[in-house]
Structure 1
Amino acid sequence: MKTAILVLALCFAAPATAMPVCGSGKRVTCVVDGDTFWLGGVKYRLKGVDAPETHGKCRNERRLAKRATNALSGFLGRGEPHLTTYGRGYYGRVLVAVSIGGIDAGEWLIQKRLARRWPDGDKWWCP
């Protein structure tokens, strides 16, 4: 009994692990960029959010895209995500609102200035 309690305590004491960033190969559970991720083999796109593109037009966009990707990766590693889906978007991705611990991922990225509201937010990352 003491061993089970110790193992359980160690599980809760361990720091959260970021969701991996996608590489080449099959994508199952990983972050593509600041507004797109795979979870359990399903590709999701944050609804109402647009993050800078990793192959963007200017150096600042590409730099911010890397930060946004890493931020979403870390956010999704914080705990069990709560997903609310809204159908499919233009590229067939499932549109989703994601929250962990009551914090919405899209709003969190916008507040950190790593994303903008879509479609009417200012695209400020390239002058």
Structure 2
Amino acid sequence: MKEGGMVGRSPQNNVFDFRAGVLRQKQGKRRGLALLVAGGLLVGILGGLLGIYWPFGSAIAEARTTHSFAVCGMVRRTCVVDGDTIWLEGVKIRIADIDTPEISQPRCDYEYDLGIKARDRLVVLLNQGEFSALPIGNRDEDQYGRKLRVLMRDGRSIGDQLVAEGVARTWSGRREPWC
């Protein structure tokens, strides 16, 4: 309390100063507004960073998944096209770390036969349990609009397993002939 026993009274004269309370009110409102704006900005920045760096940024790209795969037919939601292309929940994915023989336009019988083996083996491997489809490098899609992903299970590339079994090659950056 101020001298004289009354809040807002000036000690020099006995006049009540209404402005003192109004100024304190305005300062309190400004401080509250500033804190609200700063808090909102902080939440926005943290939310943006969380969205950018969240380890599960894309459900298709990185989520661990278990699905029932079959060879693709008329409906292509979750299925295997060939040894290095799948559909996962309606998204077409090119397995980025391997190359397998073509079955849609093979150049010889050997390529076709090995391509069928690669496709069928991939169906079996994908149905063995949970795996992750991880982005690779700085390219998200290939020239055909397929998502570029490496399929991983228990720290090992499913593509590497196909290579080890002799039905695929490690991707060198360009297609090599199978015939």
Scaled to the shorter chain, the TM-score interval is 0.7 to 0.9
Higher RCO structure (Cα 8 Å, ≥6 apart)? 1
TM normalised by structure 2 equals 0.56
Q: CA deviation at 1:120?
A: 5.5
Query: What stretches of structure 1 move > 4 A for 4+ residues in a row?
Result: none
**Residues 1-127 of structure 1 mapped to structure 2, 5 A cutoff:** 19-24=69-74, 26-54=75-103, 55-86=105-136, 87-119=140-172, 123=176, 125-126=178-179
Cα RMSD, aligned residues only: 2.2
- SS across alignment from 2:160: helix
Q: Write out per-residue CA displacement over residues 10-65 of structure 1, whole angstroms, 9 at most, x where no aligned residue.
A: xxxxxxx96100012x2100000000000111110011311000031000000000
Q: CA offset at residue 122 of structure 1?
A: 8.4
Q: Rg: which structure is higher?
A: 2
Distance in 2 (CA, whole Å) between partners of 1:23 and 1:122 is: 25
Deviation of the 1:113 alpha carbon: 1.1
**Count of residue correspondences:** 110
Structure number having the greater helix percentage: 2
**Within 1, Cα distance between the matches of 2:72 and 2:177?**
26
The two structures have a TM-score, normalised by structure 1, of 0.78
The percent identity for this pair of structures is: 38
Residue 5 of structure 1 corresponds to none
> 1 or 2, which has the higher strand percentage?
1
